[in-house]
């Protein structure tokens, strides 16, 4: 039995993502690596047969509650940062991600492995020396992680020395994660930040520059890149500034989009071109009663602004920060 196992974390509900997983598993299998595939998706048998272990968790609890939703940002407006929780497809995957991470590492420890590499399914190996170099570091450290300029661990790869972690360390505790998320919000709301807080800074961690990842032989986040045909990057959100209600539009979807909106009893339609942005007033904020926004014919956002709690939520979820 090898000292090392490769935990492949996956969510592959479509053919595009399934193919990325198949390619990674085939690479690891051809290199005779022990593979532990853990996923929220049912996986084709040809992929499973190449793995030493296969764990399927049917629960995939996505958090749409405003308390937990990811606060996205956009910097295309000169001199300003647009923050939004209402931008299209904003949600938090913290709980399903942690289930895969902790179930994976916990099972690997139980199975007797000493070193565990955590890889997301949309990664590609260019040089297997990448893993050998990190195992050498793990011999004297609890974990290896690559951190970005903000100090956040890169999520698609990190590795643990499992001898440095107890089963209690690796226990999945939903309430603990959610309590910390709300306690430190908005300064601590990314999965990667919580990973560092709970599992890295408390141990003897070794942090590396993220620029070294590709140089050392690993490409990650292939699906999350702008090259993904399913990525959605259109913004159409309301902003309250200077007692006016504005609409901010930005299209990065590599295609023109049609934005339609109804403000009170007035209907407007805007063609938004690739990489184009607009920021314009809709009405005086105190006079706003109703707002509905469509993107390419699909309902996007709707606000009954006669309700004080809806007005408050709009302002909390969407705001502009001027430099």
Domains, the chain: 4-60+91-219 (3.90.550.10), 235-322 (2.60.40)
Cα 253 to its chain centre, rounded Å, is 18
pLDDT tens digits, one per residue of 252-279: 666 788 999 999 999 999 998 888 899 9
The full length of the chain comes to: 323
Within 8 A by CB and 6+ apart from 191, the residues are 93, 94, 97, 98, 155
Q: Strands 124-125 and 218-219: what pairing?
A: antiparallel
The β-bridge partners of 5 are: 116
Q: What is the pLDDT of residue 187?
A: 61
Q: What is the pLDDT of residue 89?
A: 65
Rounded Cα–Cα distance for residues 251 and 205 (Å) = 40
Q: What is the percent of the chain with per-residue pLDDT over 90, rounded to a whole number?
A: 67
Task: State the pTM of this model.
Answer: 0.79
| Cβ atoms of residues 232 and 300 within 8 Å | no
Q: What is the pLDDT of residue 93?
A: 79
Token representation of residue 251: 């299209």
List of the chain residues with pLDDT < 50? 225-232
The β-bridge partners of 53 are: 36
Rounded Cα–Cα distance for residues 268 and 303 (Å) = 16
Nearest of 129, 118, 68 to residue 94 by alpha carbon: 68
């Amino acid at each position: 039995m090898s000292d090392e196992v490769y935990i492949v974390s996956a969510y592959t509900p479509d053919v595009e993502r399934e193919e990325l997983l198949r390619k990674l598993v085939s690479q690891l299998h051809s290199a005779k690596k022990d593979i532990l595939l853990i996923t929220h998706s049912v996986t084709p048998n040809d992929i499973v047969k190449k793995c030493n272990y296969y764990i399927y968790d049917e629960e995939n609890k996505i958090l749409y509650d405003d308390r937990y939703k990811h606060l996205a940002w956009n910097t295309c407006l000169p001199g300003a940062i647009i923050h939004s929780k209402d931008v299209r497809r904003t949600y938090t995957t913290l709980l399903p991600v942690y289930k895969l991470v902790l179930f994976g590492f916990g099972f690997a420890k139980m199975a007797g492995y000493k070193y565990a590499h955590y890889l997301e399914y949309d990664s590609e190996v260019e040089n297997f020396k990448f893993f050998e170099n990190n195992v050498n570091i793990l011999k004297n450290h609890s974990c290896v992680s690559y951190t970005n300029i903000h100090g956040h661990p890169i999520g698609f790869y990190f590795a643990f020395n499992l001898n440095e972690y107890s089963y209690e360390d690796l226990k999945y505790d939903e309430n603990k994660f959610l309590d910390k998320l709300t306690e430190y919000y908005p300064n601590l709301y990314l999965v990667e930040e919580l990973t560092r807080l709970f599992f890295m800074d408390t141990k003897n961690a070794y942090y590396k520059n993220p620029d070294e990842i590709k140089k050392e032989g690993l490409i990650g986040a292939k699906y999350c890149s702008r090259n993904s045909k399913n990525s959605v990057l259109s913004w159409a959100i309301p902003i309250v500034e200077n007692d006016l209600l504005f609409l901010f539009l930005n299209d990065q979807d590599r295609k023109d989009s049609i934005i339609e909106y109804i403000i009170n009893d007035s209907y407007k339609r805007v063609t938004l071109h690739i990489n184009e942005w607009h920021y314009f007033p809709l009405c005086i904020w105190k006079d706003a009663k109703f707002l509905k926004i469509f993107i390419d014919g699909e309902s996007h956002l709707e606000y009954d602004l006669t309700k004080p709690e809806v007005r408050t939520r709009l302002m909390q979820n969407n705001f502009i920060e001027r430099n």
